[in-house]
Amino acid sequence: MVTSTATMGRSGLYDWFVQRVSAVILLAYFLVCVGWMLVNNGFGYTAWTALFSQTWMRVFSLLALISLAGHAWVGLWVVFTDYLTERMLGPAGKVLRVLAETISAIIMVIYFIWGIKILWGL
Amino acid sequence: MRLPITAWASIAHRASGVFLFAGIGVLLWALDVSLSSQSGFDSLTVSLSHPLFKAVLWVVVSALIYHSLAGIKHLINDTGVGETMAGGILGVRIVLAVSIVLILLAGAWIW
């Protein structure tokens, strides 16, 4: 089996699965948030913080955050390994690809820690 | 470049995904400010009344809408539905049509 150090689970099948499960979770989260905003149109600070102080919403938000990390990692890996390559860009391709993967991984970690701080820093 | 509509839809799915990676930063920032305090929430409300902020939010939400619908199409394709060339083109047309409607509705909601 061909493996790669930069894939999510070192195998394409696992990545395929992560991409879909995380997508469904993120879609559900997106719909719940938009649905809540539509139902509570013109909501204020009190209702907004009440929503995010509930355990189910914090767990759901954390789940969405974890899904985002996996989803973005697999998605960006697919894009980077298709366009930032030696074939497309010459010898610089490899350097640019590893650089892009590293920078996006750092941003993802920052998003993740920031998200936890927002959720539990209330 | 002469490419079939399905190729452009695929490229747009990827481009919107990469764009959303940055867009998530805007959404996290808004969530952070809105939950931080009453004054933070109020300042965000004031910011969101500015046309530039509305435009940024609309672009991010539009990318989210298109990316989601293209993703749903992908999941449907995974079940073996719409895998032919004709089915693929029809799928993209449906995704584009629904996207346009939802993006316009989102725009109306934001403004």
Torsion-angle region of B80 (φ positive above 0: left; ψ -120 to 50: alpha; else: beta) = left
Q: Which of A75, A62, A85 is nearest to A8 (CA)?
A: A75
Q: Is residue B60, in this structure, part of any structural domain at all?
A: yes
Of B14, B41, B71, the CB nearest to A79: B14
**Is the dihedral angle over the CA atoms B53, B28, A42, B36 positive or is it negative?**
negative
Number of neighbouring beta carbons within 10 Å of residue A11: 14
List the one residue out of A25, A108, A99 whose CA is nearest residue A73: A108
Q: In terms of residue numbers, what domain contains B68? A: 5-21+50-110
Q: Does B17 touch chain A (CB under 8 A)?
A: yes
* The pLDDT of residue A3 is above 80: no
CATH number at residue B96: 1.20.1300.10
Query: Is B76 inside a domain boundary?
Result: yes
B39 touches chain A (CB under 8 A): no
B65 touches chain A (CB under 8 A): no
CATH class of domain segment(s) A12-120: mainly alpha
Chain segment A50-63, per-residue pLDDT in tens: 999 999 999 999 99
pLDDT tens-place string over residues B53-80: 999 999 999 999 999 999 999 999 999 9
Q: Identity (one letter) of the amino acid at A78?
A: V
Q: Which of A15, A48, A27 is nearest to B20 (CA)?
A: A27
Q: Please report, for chain A, the start and end positions of each structural domain, with discontinuous segments joined by +.
A: 12-120
Q: In percent, how much of chain A has pLDDT > 90?
A: 75
pTM of the model: 0.92
Comparing CB atoms, the residue among B32, B72, B75 nearest residue A118 is: B32
pLDDT digits (tens, 9 = 90+) for B7-61: 999 999 999 999 999 999 999 999 999 999 999 999 999 999 999 999 999 999 9
